[in-house]
């Protein structure tokens, strides 16, 4: 008898009341084929980056965001790193509080504390009235948090598409916005405006996020931090460490130690 698909497993579950937590560890390099869920789903990862693809669009999320996918929406997923993964199904009563479209939802300290309480106790289906109230509070607070389509958005804009592709191929490229404008035969002002309109951020912010995604993958191996800094175009190791600390909340070596801990 063949193993049940994710959709088949979902159909055997009781509905979330109002949330249902499912815990697992996903191996690095895992690709989850296209599927859907009968309830809205929030995905939480412990380390690295998860990529969810929906209708040809990619949502790239680090651990400080939840990935929201509404009910019955086909999607696939991929992760490079081995990580702890929590899937949170949201009841049909609470799901309308969250966006109608797939989004990344930023984890505030309060949201993270509420989640940690559930996950540390390994709550699955909620049978306690107080847990149900906490779940409703969690969704209410989550509905007010910052959201965005992707941590590393892409664009088909005729100017931005080749620029972003070039940076992905060579993240160490330190050309300024003005230098890129000359390369693309446009003006710095035009390029800056298109970045804000298509990406929702400046070119410098996008490049920092790209470098973070690359760093998270390389820290999975044994590449020295100094070499990672050099490959990402930083003038010094301390400059790279400062960026990583600001974006990830810990130093690269600490992140690497977390990767080596059991269950990570």
- What are the tokens at 187? 């003006």
Give the C-alpha separation, 108 to 34, whole Å.
Answer: 30
Ranking 4-8, 78-82, 92-96, 196-200 by mean pLDDT, the lowest is 4-8
Contact 221, 214 (CB under 8 A): no
pLDDT surpasses 50 at 148: yes
pLDDT surpasses 70 at 143: yes
Domain 160-260 has CATH 1.10.10.60: yes
So what CATH class is 6-148? Answer: mainly beta
- pLDDT at residue 29, as a whole number: 78
Map residue 182 onto helix, strand or coil.
helix
- pLDDT at residue 7, as a whole number: 64
The mean predicted confidence, pLDDT, of the chain is 90
Contact 39, 83 (CB under 8 A): no
The verdict on whether omega for the bond into residue 85 sits within 30 degrees of 0, i.e. cis, is no
pLDDT surpasses 60 at 1: no
Strands 50-54 and 83-90: unpaired
Q: What residues have CB less than 8 Å from 236, skipping those under 6 apart? A: 229
Query: Distance of CA 62 to CAs 16, 51, 131, 247, Å?
Result: 25, 9, 27, 10
- pLDDT at residue 264, as a whole number: 46
pLDDT surpasses 70 at 228: yes
Which residues sit opposite 148 in a β-bridge? 104
Ranking 120-129, 150-159, 194-203, 229-238 by mean pLDDT, the lowest is 150-159
Give the C-alpha separation, 261 to 263, whole Å.
Answer: 6
87-137 tens-digit pLDDT: 999 999 999 999 999 999 988 989 999 999 999 999 999 999 999 999 999
162-201 tens-digit pLDDT: 999 999 999 999 999 999 999 999 999 999 999 999 999 9
- pLDDT at residue 250, as a whole number: 85
DSSP assignment letter at 178 = H
16-46 tens-digit pLDDT: 999 999 999 888 778 888 999 999 999 998 8
Nearest to 21 by CA among 194, 103, 138: 138
Confidence band of 263 (pLDDT split at 50, 70, 90)? very low
**Residue ranges of domains in the chain:** 6-148, 160-260
pTM of the model: 0.74
- pLDDT at residue 249, as a whole number: 79
- pLDDT at residue 197, as a whole number: 94
- pLDDT at residue 31, as a whole number: 85
Give the C-alpha separation, 163 to 148, whole Å.
Answer: 22
Map residue 176 onto helix, strand or coil.
coil
Map residue 125 onto helix, strand or coil.
strand
Confidence band of 51 (pLDDT split at 50, 70, 90)? confident
- In the chain, DSSP assigns E strands to 19-26, 30-35, 40-45, 50-54, 57-61, 65-69, 75-79, 83-90, 103-106, 147-148
Confidence band of 216 (pLDDT split at 50, 70, 90)? confident
Give the C-alpha separation, 104 to 60, whole Å.
Answer: 8
């Amino acid at each position: 008898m063949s193993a049940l698909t994710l959709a088949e497993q979902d159909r055997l579950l009781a509905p979330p009341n109002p949330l249902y937590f499912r815990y697992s560890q996903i191996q690095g390099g895992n690709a989850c084929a296209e599927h859907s869920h009968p309830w809205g789903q929030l995905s939480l990862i412990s380390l690295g980056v998860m990529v969810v693809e929906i209708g040809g669009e990619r949502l790239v999320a680090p651990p400080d965001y939840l990935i929201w996918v509404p009910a019955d929406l086909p999607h696939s997923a991929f992760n490079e790193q081995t990580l702890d993964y929590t899937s949170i199904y949201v009841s049909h009563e609470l799901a309308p509080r969250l966006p109608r479209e797939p989004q990344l939802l930023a984890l505030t300290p309060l949201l993270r504390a509420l989640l940690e309480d559930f996950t540390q106790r390994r709550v699955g289906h909620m049978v306690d009235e107080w847990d149900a109230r906490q779940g409703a509070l969690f969704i209410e607070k989550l509905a007010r948090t910052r959201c965005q389509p992707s941590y590393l958005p892409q664009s088909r804009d005729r100017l931005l598409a080749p620029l972003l592709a070039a940076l992905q191929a060579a993240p160490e490229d330190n050309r300024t916005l003005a230098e890129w404008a000359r390369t693309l035969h446009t003006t710095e002002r035009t390029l800056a405006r298109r970045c804000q309109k298509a990406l929702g951020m400046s070119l410098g912010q996008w490049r920092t996020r790209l470098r973070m995604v690359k760093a998270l993958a390389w820290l999975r191996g044994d590449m020295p931090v100094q070499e990672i800094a050099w490959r990402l175009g930083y003038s010094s190791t301390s400059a790279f460490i400062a960026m990583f600390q600001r974006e990830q909340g810990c130093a690269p070596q600490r992140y690497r130690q977390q990767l080596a801990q059991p269950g990570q």
